[in-house]
Amino acid sequence: MVVNQILNAVMPGRAARQARQREDSKLDKELKDTFPTSDPLAAVQPGSGVTGAEVQPSELSPSQKAKRGAKGVN
């Protein structure tokens, strides 16, 4: 532990390189675990859920407005 701190202080960029290597290793492992399916890797998915963050739109799309207008609901 102390050795890593000393090496990080002496060698500029070492900590960043190690962080990138850990992230690459994590992605490689996930890729191996999910192959051959087409599911996206969890490490690159936004949001907290399986399908990503559930966000309500700020306003209705034009097609949703047309459907509501046809039903007489506003």
Domain locations in the chain as residue ranges: 1-45
| Distance separating alpha carbons of residues 64 and 56, to the nearest angstrom | 13
**Which pTM value belongs to this model?**
0.40
Which band of pLDDT confidence, cut at 50, 70 and 90, is reported for residue 18? confident
Helix (H) or strand (E) holding 28: helix 14-34
Chain-centre distance of CA 55, in angstroms?
15
Q: What pLDDT shows up at residue 62?
A: 84
- CA Rg value for the chain: 23
Q: In the chain, count H helices and then E strands.
A: 3, 0
| Distance separating alpha carbons of residues 30 and 33, to the nearest angstrom | 5
pLDDT, tens digit, for every residue of 25-73? 988 888 887 766 666 666 655 554 555 556 666 788 888 888 888 766 5
